[in-house]
Chains A and B, each alone.
Chain A
Amino acid sequence: MTVAKDEVFEAVRAALVDALGVEEEDVVAEATLLGDLEAESIDLLDILFRLERSLGVKISAADLGEHVQGGISEEDFGTAEGVVSDVGLAQLATVMPQIDVEALRGKLPAEGVMGLFTVDNLVDLVLARVTSPAAV
Chain B
Amino acid sequence: MEVRVGVDLVHVPRLRRLLTEQPAIGGQLFTAGELRACADRRNTVSRLSARFAAKEAVLKALGTGLGPRMRWLDVEIVNEPWGRPVVRLHGEVAAAGARRGARTVDVSLSHTADFALAHAVVVMSGEPGPEEEG
Question: What residues make up the interface of A, taking CB atoms closer than 8 Å to B?
Answer: 41-43, 45-46, 49-50, 60-62, 65-66, 69, 71, 74, 82, 110-111, 114
Contact = CB atoms under 8 A, between A and B. Distances in A.
Contacts of B70: 62, 65
> Interface of chain A, helix or strand or loop or mixed?
helix
Contacts of A114: 65
Contacts of A111: 63, 65
Interface residues of B, number: 23
Contacts of A65: 65-68, 70
Contacts, number: 49
Nearest to A46: B18
A41 B28 contact: no
Given A74-B67, A74-B99, A111-B63, A45 B56 contact: no
Contact of B68 (A43, A49, A50, A66): A66
A41 B71 CA distance: 12
A49 B99 contact: no
Interface string B105-134: 000000000000000000000000000000
A66 B15 CA distance: 25
Given A41-B56, A60-B28, A82 B63 contact: yes
Given A49-B22, A49-B25, A42 B67 contact: no
Contact of B14 (A42, A62, A71): A42
